[in-house]
Amino acid sequence: MNLRDLGEDALLARILPRLKGGKGVLAGAGDDCAVLRFSGHNRLLLFKTDCLVENIHFRSQDDAAAVGWKAMMRPLSDFAAMSGVPEFALVTLIAPQRTAVRKIDQLYLGLQRAAARFHVSIAGGETSNTSGPLVLSVSAIGFVEKRRWVSRSGGKPGDDLFVTGRLGGSGKGKHLRFLPRLEESRWLTQNFRIHAMMDLSDGLGADLPRLAKASKAGFTIDKRMLPLSPGAKIEHAISDGEDYELLFALPSRHRRRLERSWPTEFPRLRLTRIGSLTSNIKHQTFRPGGYVHFK
Amino acid sequence: MNLRDLGEDALLARILPRLKGGKGVLAGAGDDCAVLRFSGHNRLLLFKTDCLVENIHFRSQDDAAAVGWKAMMRPLSDFAAMSGVPEFALVTLIAPQRTAVRKIDQLYLGLQRAAARFHVSIAGGETSNTSGPLVLSVSAIGFVEKRRWVSRSGGKPGDDLFVTGRLGGSGKGKHLRFLPRLEESRWLTQNFRIHAMMDLSDGLGADLPRLAKASKAGFTIDKRMLPLSPGAKIEHAISDGEDYELLFALPSRHRRRLERSWPTEFPRLRLTRIGSLTSNIKHQTFRPGGYVHFK
């Protein structure tokens, strides 16, 4: 059965039970806006939207539950980048009429699983028809305490640069199965003064220059130190993208304490010092490069 | 010049200056999430997302600035439906490489004008390539005071039903030029106890039954009372959709006061009592009907 056979009312009846309720959701799917309980006390509101387009960000034959998982986890990874806590999400599904209903079910299953993994309430969204490829877009909101917000721009010359996990080769499947580093990011700002942080979505070669530029700094990297995914080479770690690991700048005086406490807290996730920020803004050991949408 | 010639960096350089800053935006386009100042004191957070798909919600040859205007105003109309105040928006543009850069500029011009009209800060968003039709999606957040939130479900038998403006014939151009009834909606909850409210997006014939059902009530309408757009007939007022007017239920004891004070406050916008809610839940003077996406 496809969407044309099903009809919109039946589609919504199918989807709505999965989008209802959750902590803090006073009104969700089926009303004009989602109405949410939010405490603004000493907190900043975080707001992010991210879309997946068929044939651009995933292939038609990819497992639909994994695509749904990725659609949710990508914006959540941006919350990790800011040491924030995601709370609510809205899901936009734009799908052609020929789409199999089973595929829709699998997409929402993946979305739900991902949201549940980090206690995010899906508070509604919308569906639309299209003559083109399937689009899945997730908007998410949450908070960060004022004193724990980490931007890209606070790095200082001399800061150590760290990355979590392993880089490269994400296209082999990791990009559909990754876990945003939300717990790690919250632990970092609970225990350290992180100067700058971001998540690696376009590849170290594209993202590190952005962090350095925002921080008005240069950087130096020891390429031989890069933590490589199994089978990946240095150039993959730099250019593949979709690692969804954290890149952050830490005052070097905290290096020892971090390297000592990390393995106790996160025994299964590698942490690697890959280089440092420098005062020479033109000092870059590799040129920017990575995934570019329109070229 | 089209998007392929321009490249993503140049596209962003073009768009970003229009997405920067605004009151309460601490970090916007170019950082991982938008970071926003939000006061949660006695307020509820409202969260809405809405998309326009080429060939479904607009035609390729439609004026792009008007399409951008509509893309912003549609979710803002949902804030009006709840008597809320929209504050921040994120814009997702999914466009094929062949799209003319001039068209992109016009889309964002329309988005900006619409946002500025209601003091909404565009706090970022994203762009993606596609092999299919152009998609423009807007996510918006804002607030409503706890005591002023109006849902669809609070209507009582005996309540008068009112609509703002005129209904029908929106397809002739109004759907690209409408003003969400935000000021009217705020004035209503400032001065009256509104039981239930929504914006008319799918047509009175589809939307009124939703309000009645949510309020566990029936309804009766005098079709001859429906305020018709120039050239529209009763069936257009019921089924065309995209009116973006307010439909609300008011305790009948407030009718006289509302009908007296409205013309003073909004001399250029008609207000019409079209019927009332009833206790018989099966009492419906017309059958549901309206725009359905998947059929």
User: What is the DSSP annotation of B46-93?
Assistant: EEEEEEEEBTTTB-TTS-HHHHHHHHHHHHHHHHHHTT-EEEEEEEEE
Taking residue A258's Cβ as centre, other Cβ atoms within 10 Å add up to 18
Instruction: Please give the residue of chain A at the shortest CA–CA distance from B12.
Output: A294
Q: What confidence category does residue B292 fall into, taking pLDDT thresholds of 50, 70 and 90?
A: very low
Residue whose tokens read 């876990």:
A179
Model pLDDT, residue B8: 67
Residues of chain B in contact with residue A246, where contact means CB-CB under 8 angstroms, are none
Instruction: Please give the residue of chain B at the shortest CA–CA distance from A198.
Output: B32
Average pLDDT (A46-50) is: 92
| Closest by Cα among A138, A194, A186, A214 to B28 | A214
Among A124-128, A272-276, B281-285, name the one with the lowest average pLDDT: B281-285
The distance of A13 to chain B (nearest Cα, Å) reads: 13
Residue A199 has pLDDT above 60, yes or no: yes
| Alpha-carbon gap, residue B252 to B204, rounded angstroms | 20
All residues at 6 or more sequence positions from B253 whose CB lies less than 8 Å from its CB, including other chains = none
Residue A30 has pLDDT above 70, yes or no: no
- Tell if the CB–CB gap between B132 and A137 is shorter than 8 Å: no
Reduce the secondary structure of chain A to three states and give it as a string: CEHHHHCHHHHHHHHHHHHCCCCCEEECCCCCCEEECCCCCCEEEEEEEEEEEECCCECCCCCHHHHHHHHHHHHHHHHHHCCCEEEEEEEEEEECCCCEHHHHHHHHHHHHHHHHHCCCEEEEEEEEECCCCCEEEEEEEEEEEHHHCCCCCCCCCCCEEEEECCECCHHHCHHHCCCCCHHHHHHHHHHCCCCEEEECCCCHHHHHHHHHHHCCCEEEECHHHCCECCCCCHHHHHHCCCCCCEEEEECHHHHHHHHHHHHHHCCCCCEEEEEEEECCCCCECCCCCCCCCCC
Residue whose tokens read 């309020």:
B215
Residues of chain A in contact with residue B57, where contact means CB-CB under 8 angstroms, are 128
B147 Ramachandran zone, left/alpha/beta (phi>0; psi -120 to 50):
alpha
- pLDDT above 70 covers a percentage of chain A that reads 88
Cβ–Cβ contact A49 with B under 8 A: yes
Amino acid at A103: K
Q: State the fold for domain A150-278.
A: Phosphoribosyl-aminoimidazole Synthetase; Chain A, domain 2 (3.90.650)
Q: Which of A5, A9, A16, A32 should one mutate to test binding to chain B, selecting the residue with the greatest count of B CBs within 10 A?
A: A32
Residues of chain B in contact with residue A57, where contact means CB-CB under 8 angstroms, are 128
The architecture in CATH of the region A3-146 reads 2-Layer Sandwich (3.30)
Cβ–Cβ contact A16 with B under 8 A: no
Residue A10 has pLDDT above 50, yes or no: yes
| Closest by Cα among A106, A89, A241 to A178 | A241
- For B72-106, write each residue's pLDDT tens digit: 999 999 999 999 999 999 999 999 989 998 999 89
Cβ–Cβ contact A38 with B under 8 A: yes
Provide the residue ranges of all domains of chain A, joining segments of one domain with +: 3-146, 150-278
The distance of B169 to chain A (nearest Cα, Å) reads: 22
Cβ–Cβ contact B128 with A under 8 A: yes
Residues of chain A in contact with residue B9, where contact means CB-CB under 8 angstroms, are 292
What ipTM does this complex have? 0.87
The distance of A117 to chain B (nearest Cα, Å) reads: 20
All residues at 6 or more sequence positions from B107 whose CB lies less than 8 Å from its CB, including other chains = B64, B65, B67, B68, B71, B93, B136
**Which residues of B, range 182-221, sit inside 8 Å of A by Cβ?**
198-199, 214
| Mean pLDDT across chain B | 88
Amino acid at B32: D
- The upper half-sphere exposure of residue A45, i.e. CA atoms within 13 Å in the direction of its Cβ, equals 28
DSSP lists the bridge partners of residue B271 as: B164
pTM: 0.88
Q: What dotted CATH number matches B3-147?
A: 3.30.1330.10
Model pLDDT, residue A285: 59
Residues of chain A in contact with residue B50, where contact means CB-CB under 8 angstroms, are 126
Judge whether A40 and B116 are in contact, CB under 8 Å.
no
Average pLDDT (A172-191) is: 94
**Which residues of A, range 87-116, sit inside 8 Å of B by Cβ?**
88, 90, 92, 94, 97
The distance of B224 to chain A (nearest Cα, Å) reads: 28
- Tell if the CB–CB gap between A130 and B133 is shorter than 8 Å: yes
